[in-house]
């Protein structure tokens, strides 16, 4: 091999080495680019996942609701704002008759029932006739009154005659004084007989049968109990009617010993019916000084005005005894709160419907609830019937899954 051939072979080896190096260099660059592309794809996928699926932001999409739909569902719109919340302790209670305005009507004498004019549940006025009883005691007392009135009339005539004779100096003054004394005694006997009839609930000698005793209503009220029938024998202490003025009732409250420092006379209270959404305000008028041996609790009483007779005796109630008050910057009605996926939300009104907004709750007075975070002041939200929006949201989720 000559020198020229050796030179050509060396040149060919050098070119082959350069070509191999170039090929390896481009492979490394491609691999780096591939890894970079994969990383970019993963980041893009994560970023994309942040807008849907499990990576969805806390505020879900708005639930479409037109004005017509809001009106049809009777959704009440309110504005979140500052409010005064009264803190309270809730105690069980029961509506009772006002014992100061409840009377157990009795005949006051033995007798036989002749008439019954009033019925159970009837509203009566003071003096209305309830029943008529025939009584021998009343007859005897009226007879005594009639005899006393006759005797009084006779002794008065004798007195006036003796007085004129004494003035004309015909009779002695002693006869005149004796006639005056007898007339005064007869007058006292008449008054005594009349007072006995009044004590029995009867009037004077009057007209008709002497044995007639009229049982009348003692005051305006409602007949809440009745135990009388025509032909029935009744005693002097038989409770034939119970009349109660239900325009004011009592609420008996059970107060545990630990709450006795809170429940005091003149403390404000709010009563809630256990059977409806009705509520009424009242004041504590009495707190027992004794604690029950069995219940280890005391009794308290709240006086309620009841002009429409809506608070019926026997009704169970929840009694909220007000313990304090506080001003809060943002509050919503209790009906506005709904639960979505285990989170408390309020449906905020937006342009095309309602946006579920997660909220953090604070104090409550049973009607309003403080919002400590999540909802701004002066925004409009759905209050009453907000559950309709939740139901609509549920329909939308189901349709999306299908």
Reported as a single tens digit per residue, the pLDDT across 331-354 is 999 999 999 888 999 999 998 899
pLDDT at 239 over 90: yes
Residues 271 and 302 in one domain: yes
pLDDT at 27 over 90: no
54-68, 177-191, 275-289, 304-318, range with the lowest pLDDT? 54-68
Which pLDDT score, from 0 to 100, does residue 12 have? 56
Please tell me the distance from the alpha carbon of residue 84 to that of residue 158, in angstroms, as a whole number.
Answer: 83
Is 307 within a domain?
yes
Residues 80 and 95 in one domain: no
Into how many domains does the chain fold? 3
Residue among 323, 317, 291, 290 at smallest CA distance from 304: 317
| Position 176 confidence tier, pLDDT thresholds 50, 70, 90 | confident
**pLDDT > 90: percent of the chain:** 52
Average pLDDT, the chain: 83
pLDDT at 35 over 80: no
Is 290 within a domain?
yes
pLDDT at 319 over 80: yes
Residues 191 and 169 in one domain: yes
Q: Buried b / exposed e across 111-129, counting CB within 10 Å, b at 16+?
A: bebbebebeeebebeeeee
Write the CB contacts of 146 (distance below 8 Å, at least 6 apart in sequence).
205, 210
What's the pLDDT tens digit per position in 118-167?
Answer: 999 999 999 999 999 999 999 999 999 999 999 999 999 999 998 889 88
Which pLDDT score, from 0 to 100, does residue 295 have? 80
Which pLDDT score, from 0 to 100, does residue 94 have? 95
What's the pLDDT tens digit per position in 54-113?
Answer: 333 345 678 898 888 889 989 999 999 999 887 788 899 999 999 999 999 999 999 999
Please tell me the distance from the alpha carbon of residue 111 to that of residue 240, in angstroms, as a whole number.
Answer: 12
Q: What is the mean pLDDT of residues 47-53?
A: 36
Is 286 within a domain?
yes
Residue among 274, 282, 369 at smallest CA distance from 321: 282
The residue with greater pLDDT, 68 or 116, is 116
Which pLDDT score, from 0 to 100, does residue 111 have? 96
Q: Among 113-122, 280-289, 320-329, 386-395, which range has the highest average pLDDT?
A: 113-122
Phi, psi angle pair for 2, to nearest 5°: -85, 180
pTM: 0.60
Which pLDDT score, from 0 to 100, does residue 242 have? 97
* Structural domain of 188: 136-210
Please tell me the distance from the alpha carbon of residue 54 to that of residue 160, in angstroms, as a whole number.
Answer: 116
Joined together, the tokens standing for residue 40 give: 């970019």
pLDDT at 47 over 80: no
Joined together, the tokens standing for residue 361 give: 């709750």
Is 56 within a domain?
no
Residues 284 and 252 in one domain: yes
Residues 331 and 321 in one domain: no
Last residue of one domain, picked from the residues 325, 348, 379 = 325
The residue with greater pLDDT, 340 or 34, is 340
Residues 80 and 94 in one domain: no
Is 351 within a domain?
yes
Residues 308 and 353 in one domain: no
Which pLDDT score, from 0 to 100, does residue 207 have? 65
Which pLDDT score, from 0 to 100, does residue 396 have? 58
| Position 257 confidence tier, pLDDT thresholds 50, 70, 90 | confident
CATH code of residue 316:
2.40.30.170
Residues 251 and 316 in one domain: yes
Residues 351 and 376 in one domain: yes
pLDDT at 43 over 50: no
The residue with greater pLDDT, 317 or 204, is 317
Which pLDDT score, from 0 to 100, does residue 49 have? 35
Is 235 within a domain?
no
CATH code of residue 369:
2.40.420.20
Please tell me the distance from the alpha carbon of residue 311 to that of residue 278, in angstroms, as a whole number.
Answer: 9
**pLDDT > 70: percent of the chain:** 82
Which pLDDT score, from 0 to 100, does residue 180 have? 92
Residues 280 and 334 in one domain: no
The residue with greater pLDDT, 39 or 334, is 334
pLDDT at 208 over 50: yes
Which pLDDT score, from 0 to 100, does residue 260 have? 85
Which pLDDT score, from 0 to 100, does residue 278 have? 85
CATH code of residue 146:
1.10.287
Last residue of one domain, picked from the residues 274, 296, 325 = 325
Is 20 within a domain?
no
Which pLDDT score, from 0 to 100, does residue 341 have? 87
Residues 268 and 298 in one domain: yes
Residues 76 and 95 in one domain: no
What's the pLDDT tens digit per position in 9-25?
Answer: 554 545 454 444 444 44
The residue with greater pLDDT, 96 or 5, is 96
Last residue of one domain, picked from the residues 308, 325, 342 = 325
Is 223 within a domain?
no
Which pLDDT score, from 0 to 100, does residue 395 have? 67
């Amino acid at each position: 091999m000559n020198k020229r051939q050796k030179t050509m072979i060396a040149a060919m080896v050098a070119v082959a080495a350069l070509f191999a190096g170039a090929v390896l260099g481009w492979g490394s660059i491609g691999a780096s680019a591939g890894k970079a592309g994969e990383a970019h794809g993963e980041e893009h996928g994560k970023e994309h996942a942040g807008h849907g699926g499990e990576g969805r932001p806390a505020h879900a999409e708005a639930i479409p609701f037109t004005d017509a739909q809001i009106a049809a569902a009777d959704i009440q719109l309110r504005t979140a704002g500052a409010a005064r919340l009264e803190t309270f302790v809730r105690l069980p209670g029961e509506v009772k008759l006002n014992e100061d305005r409840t009377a157990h009507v009795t005949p006051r004498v033995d007798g036989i029932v002749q008439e019954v004019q009033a019925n159970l549940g009837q509203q009566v006025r003071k003096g209305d006739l309830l029943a008529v009883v025939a009584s021998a005691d009343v007859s005897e007392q009226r007879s005594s009154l009639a005899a006393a009135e006759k005797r009084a009339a006779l002794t008065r005539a004798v007195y006036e005659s003796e007085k004129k004779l004494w003035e004309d100096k015909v009779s002695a003054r002693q006869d005149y004084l004796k006639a005056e004394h007898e007339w005064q005694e007869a007058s006292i006997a008449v008054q005594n007989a009349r007072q006995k009839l009044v004590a029995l609930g009867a009037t004077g000698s009057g007209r008709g049968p002497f044995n007639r005793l009229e049982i009348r209503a003692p005051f305006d009220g409602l007949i809440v109990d009745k135990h009388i029938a025509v032909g029935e024998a009744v005693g002097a202490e038989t409770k034939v009617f119970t009349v109660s003025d239900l325009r004011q009732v009592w609420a008996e409250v059970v107060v545990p010993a630990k709450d006795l420092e809170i429940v005091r006379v003149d403390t404000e209270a709010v009563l809630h019916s256990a059977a409806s959404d009705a509520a009424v305000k009242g004041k504590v008028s009495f707190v027992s000084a004794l604690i029950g041996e069995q219940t280890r609790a005391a009794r308290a009483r709240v006086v309620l005005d009841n002009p429409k007779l809506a608070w019926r005796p026997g009704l169970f109630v929840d009694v909220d005894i007000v313990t304090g008050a506080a001003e809060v910057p943002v509050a919503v009605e209790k009906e506005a709160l709904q639960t979505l996926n285990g989170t408390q939300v309020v449906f905020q009104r937006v342009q095309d419907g309602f946006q579920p907004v997660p909220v953090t709750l604070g104090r409550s007075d049973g009607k309003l609830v403080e919002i400590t975070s999540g909802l701004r002041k002066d925004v409009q939200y759905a209050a009453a019937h907000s559950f309709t929006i939740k139901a609509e949201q549920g329909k939308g989720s189901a349709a999306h899954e299908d």
